[in-house]
Amino acid sequence: MPAPAELGSGMVRVPEGADLHLEVLLEDVSGGVLVTATVAAPLAGECARCLNEFTSSTRVKFRELFAAEAGGSGDDGYLLDGDLLDLEAALRDALVLELPLSPLCSEDCAGMCAVCGTRLADAEPDHGHRDDSGVWAVLKDLFPADATGAAPAGSQERTAGEGPADPGRAQNGSLTGTSRPAGSKER
């Protein structure tokens, strides 16, 4: 049986027109037909880690009741169309629910380099990048250290417990020199 169009979700799908291999057991039960089926389908998709195209296959089992007439099951069930039953909706529901949300080209896929985007499976064993301290890297150019590692002239380094860099400003940030929190009233 050829696969119907748009049979998939997200990053993986069953290619349209691909051969689906079905094994179906139909059982007459009171009120309808019980369908027990197994479908084997080829898959094509994009790896969630490295974004390479890949192919694989899946095998899905499902069991559904096709009711002879609409009844207590509401809109959730499947209905017979006279003496015919259409497996496409049940097949689609079972197959799409079994597809992986994050498909992988292989279980040991290393993905891509977070810095340059190179596929790690194709990269050299010693692939790496110089640590540039991320978002703070631009600050090192604003205040470069001299060859001895000393701070630039005019800057004052403080250690924990020392007073503020501006002698006119008190420890709590006010210009009054008091230790009251800003905005508090004197009694």
- Measure Cα distances from 88 to 22, 108, 158 in Å: 12, 34, 73
Domain ranges of the chain: 7-98
Where are the strands (E) in 3-139, listed by range?
7-9, 12-14, 21-29, 32-46, 53-67, 78-79
Stretch 100-120: mean pLDDT: 89
pLDDT per position as a tens digit, 16-68 = 999 999 999 999 998 889 999 999 999 999 999 999 999 999 999 999 999 88
- Residue 182 banded pLDDT, cuts 50, 70, 90: low
Span 169-180, mean pLDDT?
48
The pTM assigned to this predicted structure is: 0.60
DSSP 75: G
- The pLDDT value recorded for residue 168 is 45
Model confidence at 163, pLDDT cuts 50, 70, 90, reads very low
| Res 114 pLDDT > 70 | yes
| Measured distance CA(185)–CA(34) in Å, rounded | 82
**Residue type at position 30:** S
